[in-house]
Structure 1
């Protein structure tokens, strides 16, 4: 399976119009970056910060949510916990991620296991090119 360059380019062009209309500079910058890297399937927070041209995390999150929204569907979000021992990141559900961020609760992994020595600063996410653009 690979990214369809035609579908991705079409999605980027359509999304650029929407981002420009809403004055979403960070999203516009990310879209331009994606259009120049059509084979890249995954974007980390660091990648997105660099591509967006912003250091403001709120602006970045607005852009990511816009680019993951139903009208755009460029990205699929994957919510992760990065263990202190630097072992492999562990996926968490969107509900668990937001509950931890908003209510300072300890999330569980997708199997329902609670994290030991949970540190909310170790929660993050990555973005993947949406499955609709994979052939």
Structure 2
């Protein structure tokens, strides 16, 4: 069996488990209402349609979830990166010039969002000419 076939088999299994989890926890979850359930299933369908994709940036997540709402996007990411789901590993970053990224710790990202405290990089360096529009995150499929 090739790597791609093995990955596809593993991904199908992973997505099946996520669908079962969504159905079981969706009824009692604070994240999922009857109206928002579609965003969660949209994401799973998108992932199933592109099994080779491993990284999900904000624009890709918006397309996959089929929403322009940042709130809906964050709730879906929060659910699928929770200890219950573990589908995503979330990585926080700051975009530099030339499409390069500097890693940011999760608490640095959160402190900026909640308190406006400018983040430092993962190695503790200040970000020169910080601009919040370049503060971001992306999700990686957790295959473990």
Q: TM-score, normalised by structure 1?
A: 0.86
Q: Residue 54 of structure 2 aligns with which residue?
A: 41
Choose which of 1, 5, 19 in structure 1 pairs with 2:11. 5
Q: Residue 94 of structure 2 aligns with which residue?
A: 81
* Secondary structure, counterpart of 1:126 in structure 2: strand
Count of residues paired in the alignment: 131
Moved over 4 A (4+): none
Question: What is the CA–CA distance in structure 1 between the aligned matches of 2:24 and 2:89, rounded to whole Å?
Answer: 18
Q: CA deviation at 1:121?
A: 1.5
Residue 67 in structure 1 maps to residue 80 in structure 2: yes
Unaligned ranges ≥5, structure 2: none
Question: What is the CA–CA distance in structure 2 between the aligned matches of 1:118 and 1:18, rounded to whole Å?
Answer: 42
Which fold has the larger relative contact order, with Cα–Cα distance below 8 Å and residues 6 or more apart in sequence?
A: 1
Change (3 A) 1:37 1:69: same
Question: What is the CA–CA distance in structure 1 between the aligned matches of 2:101 and 2:130, rounded to whole Å?
Answer: 13
Q: RMSD value over aligned CA atoms?
A: 2.0
Q: CA deviation at 1:58?
A: 0.4
Question: What is the CA–CA distance in structure 2 between the aligned matches of 1:116 and 1:19, rounded to whole Å?
Answer: 43
Higher Cα Rg, which structure: 2
Is 2:43–2:64's contact at 8 Å kept on the other side of the alignment? Answer: yes
The one-character-per-residue Cα deviations of 1:69-122 (angstroms, maximum 9, x if unpaired) are 111111000001012x23411110000001111111111111100101111121
Is 1:99–1:105's contact at 8 Å kept on the other side of the alignment? Answer: yes
